[in-house]
Structure 1
């Protein structure tokens, strides 16, 4: 089975989408990779489009046509914004990246301030403005990779040792994730079938989506939902807990409010938002929400019809179920970066050309959320889904790519949407939509803006 068909089939099955004619796929070429990344991009976006089509069919009987452009889908797996007269900030902290150890390689993820502090603490390096990569490299070179990974994790940081696919398959966490479904789904008897209108042009208009996620998978999912009309309310923590690095990309079409969940009044406000939401997407580790008094049973009690979608880095079972992780770290752990290194004859880790685990997981999360909404329309049931970056890595692992495949030609004016987006930071162009459902592209009601400029309330209640 061709990679696109294999990916789409597995996502359809996981989200319980109906069998339907294959979407129309246009565009030629691939991203350069040892894996079928372009096929994954096109299939994951197509699946989200098919979920939209099913939601429309749940109200209007006939499902509309779905079309996806594999070239634009691949480009959406990178930065979607093209600033006019200003520059996007650097995507990585100055000391984040891959480092040689005594016996291999390790990646340090230091974009979050507390992760940077933890990594440098484990290495015995002061966290100052003068700290340079050369200082980190010299300190890392004294460690074995596995020992340093453990030390950084113990300090509250985020790191990943370079492992081969075979080593990951034999690892207890690799075994655990391989046994997990792509989407774990539970269905709960809800209050009654939903009365949403589900317009063909903006099928998520009026849907309230509570977004408790950070870079990149969760925000990708909720950005997609906003693109079909959902009222997406991001709940961000105070600046002393998190500094958002990709707001220009991930706040498109969304509102953002600040809640400090260390405070009882703010936790109570979040409970009210959950009670009034249609969808909740969250990326908290393990039992973090339980510790806040917002575990699964409490959320279900607050809102029996809620579509509740959770994602994490390393899966929901096994010894690493609660471990911090990001796309680049999971690529190191799961063998993806090592496979690329061997396939291309490199002397250092060679990850995917894009953060495909994040983006694919994001579109899978969006597919799940929309599938849950369709279930509400049909019979009133609520639902809960779980997935992970590591499980998406399992999906990708099965589909290698011929490295001689022709690569995409450079981006042109025709790859961009015609309108100027007046973002908070300045004017810019977005990529054109990679997806149309009934020939209607994804579009957003307002541009990207800064974090924390909205009140924690729903619109039109």
Structure 2
């Protein structure tokens, strides 16, 4: 582990969350690292550390915080290792990087409608080889825009220098890592906040999908929060359900109907926290702009995420971790670092996971502000801004060649029985005395519960 990188990342995260408040000094243990062009393990340890430190401060404890770097790195891979079946397939057969006429492009086709959008531009193909032949005839920028215009997801490979001159890259440079502020006055709540389950009684409405947002709400669930995740009727996430639904209740609502929207408003009215990952204007279009959310739930801690940033021409563009890595220069830097002739991304979806833990930290800071100052709280983060943090302060450590590989490890994990079978679930990477970070229930399938709060 590169202590200089870790210190720089920790300082920037802390300033993003708490400004000029005195910088705490967590202890980092077992400093194994990923092999990468960037300090991925350091990013893992510091982001998990930030969420854990925010918890310690919410509890008002002066207890020392420690983070196991090896475990933190493993959490950035996956927390579940199936024992009686193969792991889920992570990528659609056509998702990935392709050589264009003048560079590289990444196509993201995991969602069925995104694959359909790609095929509306490039046609149907029997396999990746055939698709690659078609992609090779396209200029990268032209294909990127064509897929986006069709409702799909794609990103041209750009260098960091190109990204910093791009209109979206320029807009992003003006954004805070964690853009947060008080959001109206509210009564001080009477949450019991026992040390063993600090978020007992706190209701978290989860409107997120894929990785970053669900990572944030999984962390909150591990502290005892009542997390209710809402998905559309037809949404499926087979590659991640087991990974990110532990400790949660998962329901479905059709927000295209008046009844579904009204039920969502009722859920929000009784929520303490809202975590959402829709595009920037999506909730506004549902009649739930920021002012309406605040009126429905005075004192709401409202934390939101998007891919490319909250200003600039791409603020409403669809995006995922792998696309942001491709578009902002990370994959291109990895190409040079590795000596390969193709894009080389980070070894894990590190932007997603790190942003997720920073979102959890923002929620916990918002709860602290609610208790101390009687105010609601609003925070916004983006994958692209987390990428910028890593590029600025997380260049490849000198000792980054050791690598960490997923493996069964009985010392670091515990058995879990869930709807998919038997698995091992990693133990928490951070340690606060008296506060175990463990979900009370195993992973569940989406749509397993009713869309209502438990009494």
SS in 1 for 2:316: coil
- Bigger drift between 229-238 and 402-411 goes to 402-411
2:186–2:370 Cα contact (<8 Å) kept? no
Distance 2:98 2:109 in 1: 13
Q: Of 202, 205, 216, which residue of structure 2 is paired with 1:207?
A: 202
Matched, 1:98 2:97: yes
2:28–2:68 Cα contact (<8 Å) kept? yes
Point out where structure 2 has 5 or more consecutive residues left out of the alignment. Answer: none
Residue 436 of structure 2: aligned partner:
441
Q: Of 336, 339, 342, which residue of structure 2 is paired with 1:348?
A: 342
Q: Of 17, 21, 24, which residue of structure 1 is paired with 2:24?
A: 21
Matched, 1:413 2:409: yes
Q: Of 273, 276, 279, which residue of structure 2 is paired with 1:279?
A: 273
Distance 1:416 1:71 in 2: 10
Matched, 1:132 2:135: no
Residue 332 of structure 1: aligned partner:
326
- Bigger drift between 433-442 and 382-391 goes to 433-442
> How far is the alpha carbon of 1:9 from its aligned partner?
1.5
Distance 2:401 2:87 in 1: 29
Distance 2:191 2:202 in 1: 8
Point out where structure 1 has 5 or more consecutive residues left out of the alignment. Answer: none
1:229–1:445 Cα contact (<8 Å) kept? yes
SS in 2 for 1:2: helix
Deviation sequence 1:152-179 (CA, Å, 0-9, x none): 0000000000000111011111111111
Distance 1:113 1:169 in 2: 32
Matched, 1:371 2:374: no
Q: State the TM-score, normalized to the length of structure 1.
A: 0.95
Residue 138 of structure 2: aligned partner:
143
1:34–1:400 Cα contact (<8 Å) kept? yes
> How far is the alpha carbon of 1:412 from its aligned partner?
5.7
Could you say if the C-alpha distance between residues 346 and 403 of structure 1 is closer, same or farther in structure 2, counting changes exceeding 3 Å? farther
1:28–1:408 Cα contact (<8 Å) kept? no
1:251–1:448 Cα contact (<8 Å) kept? yes
Residue 219 of structure 1: aligned partner:
214
Matched, 1:33 2:36: yes
- Bigger drift between 332-341 and 11-20 goes to 11-20
Residue 88 of structure 1: aligned partner:
87
Matched, 1:255 2:255: no
Distance 2:304 2:237 in 1: 22
Distance 1:20 1:414 in 2: 35
Distance 2:229 2:266 in 1: 14
Deviation sequence 1:243-280 (CA, Å, 0-9, x none): 45310111111110000000101100000111101110
Query: For 1:386-401, what aligned pairs fall within 5 Å after superposition?
Result: 386-398=380-392, 399-401=394-396
Q: How many residues align?
A: 450
Distance 2:398 2:331 in 1: 15
SS in 2 for 1:441: coil
1:416–1:431 Cα contact (<8 Å) kept? yes
SS in 2 for 1:189: strand
Q: State the TM-score, normalized to the length of structure 2.
A: 0.96
Distance 2:302 2:179 in 1: 12
RMSD: 1.5
2:184–2:294 Cα contact (<8 Å) kept? no
Residue 376 of structure 2: aligned partner:
382
